[in-house]
């Protein structure tokens, strides 16, 4: 297994301003002594060991939810990677989970209309066609556009999220014991996401173990954690970063994320679920 500090993902910058690239590399020790034992105590080791030992080596794409400017870059990167990975299964992070059902239903209806001029076997009314076009236009402005690209390019798409994940997020966000507190200098209203991702990623590992998707398309903190848990070197990992957007959110780059991960996992062990 590689050390955490061996992780060297492909960083793809969005926009012209990139600032200090060095702070987005893994720190020399990468919190190995602090994070390693926390991961071992919290995450089920059986699926992790199985995935490592079996040579599982998916493409992992990490992105920042709040910043959709990387959409076209992600799709261009997938186009290039498609030569080596023309089809297969892609695991995506979509909440609420019903959102994936909506995208798949749209894809099926749009495909039938393109090929046969019908929807569910019937010639659609103009207003139905207009609704499809409006939905597509809206979808293409969000990260759902990548899911649509995967479907249109023949990938089987599955959700890496638990059906109750959104309930977990809302429950933790309003936790009366924690809602007024700060962790590593940030309020619970922001920090709770790192706490909730722990349970979400425990479930996500079961999806990876069962489905072994060739592509994993998830938020940046999930991508980093899966890379670390699976002992990867980052050769097949792609993180899409907008320096201008992140410079205030993550002043120390990768080190800030690792500090937040460490604090969240320590809290998880203290608070439980």
70-110 per-position pLDDT tens digit: 899 999 999 999 888 888 999 999 999 999 999 999 999 99
Average pLDDT of the chain is: 92
pLDDT score for 1 = 58
pLDDT over 70 (residue 134): yes
Nearest to 262 by CA among 205, 215, 195, 207: 195
DSSP 265: H
> Is 70 inside any structural domain?
yes
Range of the domain at 206: 4-97+159-271
What is the token pair recorded at 35? Answer: 């994070």
In the chain, the number of structural domains is 1
> Is 228 inside any structural domain?
yes
Considering all CA atoms of the chain, what is the largest pairwise distance in Å, rounded to the nearest integer?
A: 63
What are the φ and ψ backbone dihedral angles of 119, each rounded to 5 degrees? -130, 120
> Is 148 inside any structural domain?
no
> Is 146 inside any structural domain?
no
- Please write the tens of the pLDDT for every residue from 147-203: 999 999 999 999 999 999 999 999 999 999 999 999 999 999 999 999 999 999 999
Q: Across-strand partners of 232?
A: none
Distance spanning both ends of the chain, measured CA to CA? 29
> Is 170 inside any structural domain?
yes
**Range scoring the smallest mean pLDDT among 53-57, 117-121, 218-222, 250-254:** 250-254
Q: What is the pTM of this model?
A: 0.93
Average pLDDT over residues 208-215: 98
Q: Across-strand partners of 60?
A: 216, 237
> Is 30 inside any structural domain?
yes
């Amino acid at each position: 297994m590689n050390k955490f500090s061996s992780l060297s993902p492909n960083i793809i910058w969005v926009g012209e301003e990139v600032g200090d690239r060095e702070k987005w590399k893994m720190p020399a020790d990468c919190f190995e002594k602090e994070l390693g034992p926390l991961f071992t105590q919290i995450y089920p080791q059986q699926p992790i060991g199985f995935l490592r030992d079996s040579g599982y080596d998916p493409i992992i794409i990490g992105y920042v939810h709040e910043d959709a400017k990387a959409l076209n870059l992600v799709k261009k990167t997938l186009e290039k990677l498609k030569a080596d990975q023309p089809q297969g299964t892609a695991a995506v992070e979509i909440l609420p989970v019903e959102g994936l059902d909506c995208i798949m239903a749209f894809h099926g209806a749009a495909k039938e209309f393109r090929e046969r001029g019908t929807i569910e076997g019937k010639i659609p009314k103009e207003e139905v066609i207009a609704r499809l076009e409006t939905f597509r236009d809206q979808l293409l402005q969000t990260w759902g556009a990548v899911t649509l690209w995967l479907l249109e390019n023949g990938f089987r798409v599955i959700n890496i999220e638990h059906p109750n994940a959104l309930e977990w997020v809302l429950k933790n966000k309003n936790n009366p014991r924690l809602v007024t507190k700060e962790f590593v200098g940030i309020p619970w209203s922001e920090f709770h996401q790192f706490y909730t991702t722990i349970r979400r990623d425990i479930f996500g590992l079961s999806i990876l173990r069962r489905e072994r998707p060739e592509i994993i398309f998830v938020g940046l903190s999930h991508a980093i954690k899966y890379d670390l848990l699976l002992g990867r070197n980052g050769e097949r990992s792609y993180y899409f970063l907008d320096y201008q957007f992140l410079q205030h959110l993550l002043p120390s780059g990768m080190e800030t994320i690792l500090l937040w991960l460490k604090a969240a996992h320590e809290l998880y062990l203290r608070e439980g679920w």
